[in-house]
Amino acid sequence: MSSHYEAPIRKPLIIGDKSYHDVTVDVARPVEGRANKQWWIAFTIALAAFLWGVGCVAYTVGTGIGTWGSNKTIGWAWDITNFVWWVGIGHAGTLISAVLLLFRQKWRMAINRSAEAMTIFSVIQAAMFPVFHMGRPWLAYWVMPIPNQFGSLWVNFNSPLLWDVFAISTYLSVSLVFWWTGLLPDFAMLRDRAITPFTKRVYSILSFGWSGRAKDWQRFEEVSLVLAGLATPLVLSVHTIVSFDFATSVIPGWHTTILPPYFVAGAIFSGFAMVNTLLIIMRKVSNLEAYITVQHIELMNIVIMITGSIVGVAYITELFIAWYSGVEYEQYAFINRATGPYWWSYWLMMTCNVISPQVMWFKKIRTSIMVSFIISIVVNVGMWFERFVIIVTSLHRDYLPSSWTMFQPTFVDAGFYIGTIGFFFVLFLLYSRSFPVIAQAEVKSIMKTSSEKYKKLHESHDNHSHSEHNHH
Amino acid sequence: MYTFSSKLKTLAFILMVVGIIGVGYSFFTAPKTLEEAEAIIAAQHHGGHGEAAHHEGTHSETHENKADEAHVTHVEDTVKEGHKLTDEEKAHLASDSVSSIVATAPAAHDSAVAEESHEAHAEAAVAGHDAHKAHDAHATHDEHKEHAEHVFHQLQNKPWAAVYVAALFFMLISLGVLAFYAIQNAAQAGWSPVLFRVMEGITSYLIPGAIIVFIFLVVGVLHFHHLFIWLDPEVVAEDHLIQQKSGYLNGTFFLIRAAVFIGGWIFYRQYSRKQSLAQDEATDNLSYKKSFKGAAAFLVFFIVSESIMSWDWIMSVDPHWYSTLFGWYVFASFFVSGITTIALITLYLKSKGYLEYVNTSHIHDLAKFMFGISVFWTYLWFSQFMLMWYADMPEEVVYFKMRIENYNLPFFGMVAMNFLFPVLILINTDFKRLSWIIVMAGIVILLGHYIDFFNMIMPATVGDQWFIGAGEIGAVLFFLGLFILVVFTALTKVPLLAKRNPLIEESKHFHY
């Protein structure tokens, strides 16, 4: 496809004297080895949080939505906040696997697998909120346009909440197919290396009989490109539709046209931060520092910085237009955010989302793994508060002052949220021990252009022969 | 080195001369006095029965709309009357078209309330009050005069608005290319350095183009034209909404902002060009690094200045209307036009044998950007439109109501031109490598985005008096000629291939 010549100024993406075989061994090691004590500790904690969440959800469904802190004015609070937050996090996976593929970013090769896993696991978390925030979740299937015995009673296609159903379910399906397709050559690699009959059997089933013929590879690449082309508008539209839940309303603070692209920018922002959080740990515990290099972290930090700035511009735009509109409700919505009873959440959001990513302008900071790790968590805290601020501060004070009220979450609200975090890590920890966490087939495809070893070879070759760069 | 073909140069001069004649003609034929405007209105409405029937249609509709207004008591009578009088009115319209206009004046005003163009605001109340009266055959002279004045201002605006849309459009194309160029530099793109000199050539138009736009704004602040009604103290005096905004919307601050933005853009353009040329002769990569840093800094400045620019220069022609998405929507529109222009000029130069290292893969990449950003534009267009349509809040939906009623074809036609056509034709990989397909899609995209800017400016300035005639076409031709002249002159100044850019080898060997 693209040229095999690479400019000398580009830094290597694979560090050290790695051969093709080394890549295989390095990627297979965590899967083929046994889990250590720390893994079991982490897994137990995550599982406990998950089970606690299951208990909270069971309690909610059994007793009623009134166990939550939502009230007559604030019908949406933590439930939708967490939903949007999880969906947003999921977006980075598709961004990395699809958008960066379209832009031919070779550095995506080492991170796309984990980013996609993160997408799928976080969309699963997100998808639970639309179901369990229903008053009657056992009737959730009514949102589907299924022919029925009520004279074919249908759904109303005008509601963004219904669009959400289609958006999220399509998004999850497409992401899953995209992810799994990419896994086929890697599962085949694990299958071919398997020693025990059990693992041989498991990875044989998972790899769908992949044999890696030229024709297969050719179609594999085409499918990846087509799916990337489809996933890109999908990822934009999914978070856009999520933003429509608010923007189509008439609530001051919600009804604003910038919400679709700004939610998408926020999703990339928080999603990349989450990828950074996870990969900084993973590269360490799975010994993948040669593949997930400081340059990868730096580039993710740059994406975080850019999207953080876009989000910042959107905040300022909203503030300016609220003043410019001359609509006092709109003006008050923003005064209330900045100075009302939830001022602390607004300023926390502003600090975490607008100021913290700006430190990435300094190379020293964005190449520091420690600082990147901290900022990546700060960003996700900030993005949780962004959703909280948009949802709660717009609802708790709007048109009629007689309806003004406050929101106080209960332990059930918190328990459900903690449960999803636990479930996410249960899935992610299981994934990291049973799946090839780096797309080895893809990494091998950039070996000759972008690994440290081959870059050195090219350099010495060029110096000796003074050739024009015609390696392809 | 590129030599400006004498044929192309002649063409540029011809375009400019024809353009000036067209613009001059439209200024010359614009009404100078109220009486002239009245004569033009009268002439328009002697047009024929079709038009009379049309007026009759809007007429009864208007009365139904009036039900929403304050005069509930009158409404029933009015509507009844409206139906009863239909035949009578027809006769009336045929015999005296001027008074038919008076009768339909509130209809125009009603959508003008929507539009909140020029005096619409001041007249809105009047129009509401007088709705039933105006319907009456005994229309007063006051209303007639008011309507005539309204149309008079719109007709006076027409040649100015035509020049403004074209001046803005070509300047923004150049700015879009500058943004694309900065992105390519900051992203360390490996495919595009062979196109850098083409892009630098196109951005050379930014200097005269932006200065012309600035002069146009100064002329507005000096009250020679009235495209920005918030500059008119009489309008502001009666309009409390504009008064509230006058801390931001005032002539001095407006010009300061414009000067800062234009200054910043031109500065970066000159700076990046200088570094790009310096890198050709350098022995190290210092200039390249400066270009990289400059591009990053410019992009930060750009995202802020572009947003504010679009509020100032475009959104403020409708000073009552606002949309948070507007800045990014405007950006998508001129960004895709800029990329299209790069593709068209690259193909032209390639066809003349000037761009040795440009191959179909480079064209393919440009075409992908044309495709992708067209989709992005549509996404933003739809988001803005759908959200306002869905919520249907009167203070903002009027913007689209006016456009759908009076600009139906341009409003929806541009969606076909800017989305349907390029997306359907550019989805094919093989097509993205065919010059004639790119040229065809490119021309449609450029025309479509001209209409996009037309749709943003015209409804507020000329209302339902719009027409694509001598003034509009003349202005486009003039600026097209100037654009060709400036851009191709700049292309002759330096070699068309950047020499020592660290990524140039990647770009030369690029194939996809």
CB atoms within 10 A of CB A48: 14
User: Which chain A residue has the Cα nearest residue B389?
Assistant: A248
Given an 8 Å threshold on Cβ–Cβ distance, is B324 in contact with A258?
yes
Q: Which two tokens stand for residue B300?
A: 């930060």
- The pLDDT-based confidence of B41 (bands split at 50, 70, 90) is confident
CB atoms within 10 A of CB B11: 15
CA distance A79 to A389: 13
Of A244, A313, A321, the CB nearest to B303: A313
Position of tokens 């740990």? A281
pLDDT in tens, A219-253: 999 999 999 999 999 999 999 999 999 999 999 99
CA distance B45 to A46: 77
User: Which chain A residue has the Cα nearest residue B288?
Assistant: A9
- The pLDDT-based confidence of B85 (bands split at 50, 70, 90) is very low
Query: In DSSP terms, which residues pair with A14 in a beta bridge?
Result: A451
Given an 8 Å threshold on Cβ–Cβ distance, is B245 in contact with A5?
no
CA distance A203 to A189: 9
| Predicted local distance difference test score (pLDDT) of residue A464 | 57
CB atoms within 10 A of CB A343: 14
- The pLDDT-based confidence of A472 (bands split at 50, 70, 90) is very low
Given an 8 Å threshold on Cβ–Cβ distance, is A261 in contact with B383?
yes
A318 vs B contacts (CB less than 8 Å)? 324
Q: Kindly give, in sequence order, each residue whose CB lies less than 8 Å from that of residue A234, ignoring residues fewer than 6 positions away.
A: A94, A170, A171, A174
B362 vs A contacts (CB less than 8 Å)? none
Query: In DSSP terms, which residues pair with A451 in a beta bridge?
Result: A14
Which letter does DSSP use for residue B495 in this model?
A: -
**ipTM score here?**
0.94
Q: Which two tokens stand for residue A451?
A: 């690994």
Average pLDDT score over residue span A14-23: 91
Q: Calculate the average pLDDT of chain B.
A: 84
- The pLDDT-based confidence of B46 (bands split at 50, 70, 90) is low
Average pLDDT score over residue span A18-37: 92
CA distance B445 to B282: 39
- The pLDDT-based confidence of A454 (bands split at 50, 70, 90) is confident
pLDDT in tens, A286-315: 999 999 999 999 999 999 999 999 999 999
Measured between CA atoms, how close is A328 to chain B, in angstroms?
11
Count of residues making up chain B: 512
Of B387, B395, B506, the CB nearest to A257: B387
Given an 8 Å threshold on Cβ–Cβ distance, is A324 in contact with B322?
yes
Measured between CA atoms, how close is A318 to chain B, in angstroms?
6
Please give the distance of CA B399 from its chain centroid, rounded to a whole number.
Answer: 15
Residue B124 has pLDDT above 50, yes or no: no
Measured between CA atoms, how close is B246 to chain A, in angstroms?
10
Of A1, A250, A324, the CB nearest to B393: A250
Residue B81 has pLDDT above 50, yes or no: no
Measured between CA atoms, how close is B207 to chain A, in angstroms?
27
Nearest of B89, B65, B63 to residue B77 by alpha carbon? B63
Chain A residues contacting B, CB < 8 Å? 1-3, 5-10, 233, 236-237, 240, 244, 247-250, 255-261, 309-310, 313-314, 317-318, 320-321, 324-327, 469-470, 472
Average pLDDT score over residue span B47-72: 42
pLDDT in tens, A129-158: 999 999 999 999 999 999 999 998 999 999
CA distance A264 to A307: 9
A3 vs B contacts (CB less than 8 Å)? 190, 506, 509-511
Helices marked H in A70-136: 78-94, 100-102, 112-132
SS3 for B31-82, per residue?
A: CCCHHHHHHHHHHHHCCCHHHHHHHHHHHHHHHHHHCCCCCHHHHHHHHHHH
> Looking at the complex, does the CB of residue B96 fall below 8 Å from at least one CB of chain A?
no
pLDDT in tens, B305-346: 999 999 999 999 999 999 999 999 999 999 999 999 999 999
| Predicted local distance difference test score (pLDDT) of residue B79 | 40
Average pLDDT score over residue span B189-215: 95
Q: Which two tokens stand for residue B83?
A: 């139906």
Q: How far is CA B55 from CA B51, B92, B103, B301, in A?
A: 6, 12, 9, 49
Residue B57 has pLDDT above 80, yes or no: no
**φ, ψ (nearest 5 deg) of residue A14:** -120, 120
B324 vs A contacts (CB less than 8 Å)? 256-259, 314, 317-318, 321
A470 vs B contacts (CB less than 8 Å)? 509
Considering Cα of B255, then B258, then B263, then B266, what sign does the dihedral take?
A: negative
Position of tokens 């295989």? A24
For chain A, give the percent of residues with pLDDT over 70. 97
- In a mutational test of the A interface, the residue from B194, B249, B325, B331 whose CB has the highest number of chain A CBs within 10 Å is B325
∠ CA B301-B305-B307, rounded to 5°: 125
pTM assigned to the model: 0.89
A10 vs B contacts (CB less than 8 Å)? 188
A5 vs B contacts (CB less than 8 Å)? 505-506, 509
CA distance A92 to A268: 5
Average pLDDT score over residue span A373-400: 95
| Predicted local distance difference test score (pLDDT) of residue A462 | 67
Please give the distance of CA B51 from its chain centroid, rounded to a whole number.
Answer: 28
> Looking at the complex, does the CB of residue B300 fall below 8 Å from at least one CB of chain A?
yes
For chain B, give the percent of residues with pLDDT over 90. 69
Is residue A394 within 8 Å of residue A76, measured between CB atoms? no
Q: Which two tokens stand for residue A192?
A: 């071919």
> Looking at the complex, does the CB of residue B395 fall below 8 Å from at least one CB of chain A?
yes
Nearest of A180, A272, A284, A188 to residue A223 by alpha carbon? A180
Given an 8 Å threshold on Cβ–Cβ distance, is B322 in contact with A317?
no
Position of tokens 């614009």? B30
A248 vs B contacts (CB less than 8 Å)? 386-387, 390-391
Q: Which two tokens stand for residue B502?
A: 């660290």
